[in-house]
Amino acid sequence: MFSSLRWKLTKAYTIWFLLTFTAILLILFFVFRSILFSIESKELQDLLENEKAAYTDGSVVQEQPYSYYTSFFIPESGKIKIFKKEERLTPAFLHYSKNARKNLEMADLQSADGKKLHVIYGKIPIIENGKKKGELFVVKDISHVHEQTERWFFILFLIGLITGSVSLLIGSKLAGRAIEPVKENYERQKKFVSDASHELRTPLSIFSASLQVMEEEEKERLSPFSAEVLKDLKDEMKHMNSLITNLLTLAKSDSDSISIEKAVFSFSEMTSSVIHQYQMKEKGLRKFRLEGPDDDPCMAETDKTRVKELLYIFLDNAVKYTAKDGEITLRYEPDHRSKHLVIHIIDNGIGISEEDMPFIYDRFFRAEKGRSKKLGGSGLGLSIASGLLHSLDGKIDVNSTPGNGTDFTISLPVLI
């Protein structure tokens, strides 16, 4: 239980760190990219102004080889004039120029030799005598800047992975320290419950035997009031013994020490025997029905005693909350393909309210707020059932409507 809690806390710490680090990384990347774009944009605008001035005063030289950037003039009609020519950049952008609609923008191009180019371009209209003559373009290759940015981003990503791994280890240690006081307190509480339950068994057994002897020897001399008191004492003894047994079962469940002794048995035969016991016990006060396939013995391999305990818990719970003349149904549905046995315990009793539903497996929880002992029990039954199901690798679900009854559904991977 605590190892699971520790892992959840560690995972929470690590996820929080990684999300924070990723957010910071993305912010840094886009801020840095924006700064680079701003710097390159300013430089490009200066180049555009210089090229425009050179074009206007006629000092520009056509087809001049240049490695820093390329510039050319695309007239409204006529031949394109290339001023500064870069071997790969110029033909690549001329092919792209029809898509260049913005005055300043970054773009990805592909050169004739297949190499990817990252560029920034700018264009400016040339106006003569109030009439647009064409557009002057300046294109600069910023592939080295882009590659460097990606390299920094990749380095930061690696640092993030390394830091994430370190944070996983640190988070595990922090989580271990955080749950240590809770774990120690829980272990002390569990040991107390177990020890107290064991210590109480002996005096309760002596007290129970003493009551039995008193009843046998003094039965004829007891007044009606004394006989009633003796009967109440015996009922309380049964309740205390049941409570101690339940506490010991819970202590074993908490420490994952519930022993599971697997054996092959017929589930249909076992349920027939269990339902027969309840029919004899209730003597017609409530109706019990058993539903399942007639031609399938439902051979299972698991701990028969533990499965029977589960059925007793849910059937006792159904009896407790179902009025006289009510109906309780035990239905089982084998699924041989998935090897699962699905069991339904259905009653038409008082049901469970939506507000109480999240707490029904809590220890000592009872739907009636005054914790009245009118219906008996200790409020531990469903907690024990939950622990037993965990030991049997089973699952449980519940559907209930107040006033119409409850359907507990158990799924066990036990069929052979």
DSSP state of 358: G
Cα separation, 171 vs 150, whole angstroms: 30
Beta strands 81-85; 64-65: pairing state: parallel
Nearest in space to 328 (alpha carbons), one of 287, 270, 375:
287
- Domain boundary among the residues 132, 149, 166 is at 149
* Per-residue pLDDT at 371: 41
Nearest in space to 177 (alpha carbons), one of 11, 6, 13:
6
* Per-residue pLDDT at 250: 63
Residue 243 inside a domain? The answer is no
Cα separation, 169 vs 181, whole angstroms: 20
Cα separation, 148 vs 412, whole angstroms: 58
Query: Among the residues of 219-262, which ranges form H helices?
Result: 224-254
* Per-residue pLDDT at 194: 61
Beta strands 299-302; 327-335: pairing state: unpaired
φ, ψ at 124 (rounded to 5°): -145, 135
Cα separation, 248 vs 242, whole angstroms: 10
* Per-residue pLDDT at 198: 60
In terms of residue numbers, what domain contains 382? 263-412
DSSP state of 295: T
Residue 354 inside a domain? The answer is yes
Residue 53 inside a domain? The answer is yes
pLDDT, tens digit only, all 416 positions of the chain: 566 666 777 777 777 877 887 788 788 878 887 888 888 889 888 888 888 888 888 776 677 777 778 888 888 887 888 888 888 888 888 888 888 888 888 888 888 788 888 889 999 998 888 888 899 999 998 888 878 878 877 887 788 778 777 877 877 777 777 777 767 766 666 666 666 666 666 677 777 777 777 777 777 777 888 878 777 787 777 767 766 676 666 666 665 656 788 899 999 999 999 999 888 888 888 999 999 998 888 999 998 988 988 898 899 889 988 988 899 999 999 998 899 999 999 999 998 888 888 888 887 776 655 444 555 566 777 888 888 888 888 999 999 989 889 999 999 998 88
Cα separation, 139 vs 134, whole angstroms: 16
The answer to whether residues 267 and 408 belong to one domain is: yes
Q: Virtual CA dihedral for 375, 390, 265, 344, nearest 10 degrees?
A: 50
The answer to whether residues 142 and 274 belong to one domain is: no
* Per-residue pLDDT at 253: 60
Residue 172 inside a domain? The answer is no
Instruction: Calculate the alpha carbon distances from 275 to 131, 191, 312 in Å.
Output: 101, 37, 10
Q: SS3 for 328?
A: strand
Q: SS3 for 74?
A: strand
HSE-CB of 303 using CA atoms within 13 angstroms: 17
Nearest in space to 74 (alpha carbons), one of 82, 63, 66:
82
- Domain boundary among the residues 107, 123, 149 is at 149
Print burial letters for 164-180: b (CB count within 10 Å at least 16), e (below 16). Answer: beebeeebbeebeeebe
- Give me 143's structure tokens: 């592939």
Residue pair 404/351 in contact by the 8 Å Cβ criterion: yes
Residue 80 inside a domain? The answer is yes
The answer to whether residues 137 and 272 belong to one domain is: no
**Residue 151, amino acid:** R
Residue 245 inside a domain? The answer is no
Residue 193 inside a domain? The answer is no
* Per-residue pLDDT at 301: 92
Can you give the CATH number for the domain in which 361 is found? 3.30.565.10
* Per-residue pLDDT at 195: 63
- Give me 314's structure tokens: 């849910």
Cα separation, 93 vs 138, whole angstroms: 10
Cα separation, 226 vs 232, whole angstroms: 10
* Per-residue pLDDT at 347: 94
Residue 98 inside a domain? The answer is yes
Nearest in space to 137 (alpha carbons), one of 98, 88, 87:
98
Nearest in space to 68 (alpha carbons), one of 142, 147, 146:
142
- Domain boundary among the residues 149, 180, 213 is at 149
Residue pair 349/286 in contact by the 8 Å Cβ criterion: no
Residue pair 302/412 in contact by the 8 Å Cβ criterion: yes
Angle value at C-alpha 291, between 289 and 294, nearest 5 degrees: 130
Q: Please count the structural domains in the chain.
A: 2
DSSP state of 372: -
**Strand (E) or helix (H) holding 274:** helix 267-282
Can you give the CATH number for the domain in which 12 is found? 3.30.450
